[in-house]
Amino acid sequence: MTLSRWHLHLLSIPLKKPYRLAFGDVTHFDTIIVEVEDKDGRRGFGEATLLEAYGGGSVDGAWAFCTDHVSALCGLEAQSAKAELEKSFKQQAFAVTAMTAAIEMLQGAALIAPGNSEIRVPLLGAVSETEHDAIPGEIESLLEQGYGTLKVKVGFDVEPDLARLVVIQDAVDGRAMLRIDGNQGYDISAATRFATEADPEGIELFEQPCAADDWDAADAVAKVSRLPMMMDESIFGPGDIIRAADLGCAKFIKLKLFKMGGVEKLLKGLEQIRSLGMEPVLGNGVASDVSCWMEALVAASAITNAGELNGFLRAVGGIFEEPLAVENGDLVLPAGYRPVLDHDKIAAFTVASAASGG
């Protein structure tokens, strides 16, 4: 299978409302869509949505990598192209993953081929209200929509965060599990306070309260926490998974497709987490339809808890001809579903484009 042409699209996709994170509000997705075609006309596509705090590097850097490399990849066999891309994974993980996933789709990898049965992946619902009076109404709405796991962002100011958590726990009243995400917003003192003072009732996990590269903080907080800990932004591949297991600083490890170098490597990473005695979590809240679809296919065979692959719900619109569907809190892929990019929708969000090949 020889790669013959690439099409690249740099998109700015507005969100329905700002996504509030500890390091700032996200108002739009900076998304690179890559399309690859072989000489027989078969096609695949992949995605990278850049957010520097998640370790993806800059938008300009990822776009430059893609545009600089597609010409050299044209004419290569698919396996050779993937091997060439892998050399740059540490420098441009998100861009390399997007291009590798597109090749995997082109190759017809089993995980991203149309299935013969419906796939349903439970998603988590996001608690975004910060005003105490508004929280109960939002939670009732999420529960009515069928969400059994709710995510709460903290990492802003530990005392108000703890107070808001109490309101949320009272409103939920045991009807859903809670995931608490620090998004690297706390220093070790604040993280320790949150982890020791929060009531563990109904809390599934406490995610990445300190900086991604501060493994000493992760270890220290885990040693005193009343809450099960999860690492996310710290994890880029098998070596980091082993490090977390050796330290014993996490019960859960979350993976995102963007950070793993491809769909096949993502599945291996999830299997590795479980083999080392930890529980894998999967999904990206800052991603468009493409990545969420691919992660859903992996989740269907490798995950037993709620998926975090809900970024597509935040965007004002998707880029598939047949949009991803959510029913009773589940992402639903009909039997035989294989998405097709809608280039009119892509054009509406396009900032720049490039192409290479015949």
SS3 state of residue 179: strand
pLDDT tens by residue, 275-287: 999 999 999 999 9
DSSP state of 54: G
Q: What CA–CA distances, in Å, run from 102 to 32, 105, 154, 195? A: 12, 5, 35, 40
**Cβ pair 356, 71 in contact under 8 A:** yes
Mean pLDDT of 19-24: 78
Record: fold of 119-333: TIM Barrel (3.20.20)
DSSP state of 8: E
**Cβ pair 6, 355 in contact under 8 A:** yes
Give the pLDDT of residue 157: 96
CA 101 to CA 232: how far, in whole Å? 21
Please state whether the predicted TM-score (pTM) of the whole model is above 0.85: yes
**Taking the domains of the chain in order of start, what are their residue ranges?**
3-113+342-357, 119-333
pLDDT tens by residue, 66-123: 999 999 999 999 999 999 999 999 999 999 999 999 999 999 876 777 778 899 999 9
Cβ burial, residue 91 (10 Å; 0-12/13-18/19+)? exposed
Give 137's pLDDT tier (boundaries 50, 70, 90): very high
CA 226 to CA 96: how far, in whole Å? 38
pLDDT tens by residue, 190-249: 999 999 999 999 999 999 999 999 999 999 999 999 999 999 999 988 999 999 999 999
Question: Residue 358 pLDDT > 70, yes or no?
Answer: no
Of 67, 8, 23, whose CA–CA distance to 286 is shortest?
A: 23
CA 192 to CA 223: how far, in whole Å? 9
Determine which of 51-55, 186-190, 243-247, 285-289 has the lowest per-residue pLDDT on average.
51-55
Record: fold of 3-113+342-357: Enolase-like; domain 1 (3.30.390)
Give the pLDDT of residue 110: 64
**Cβ pair 22, 153 in contact under 8 A:** yes
Give the pLDDT of residue 270: 97
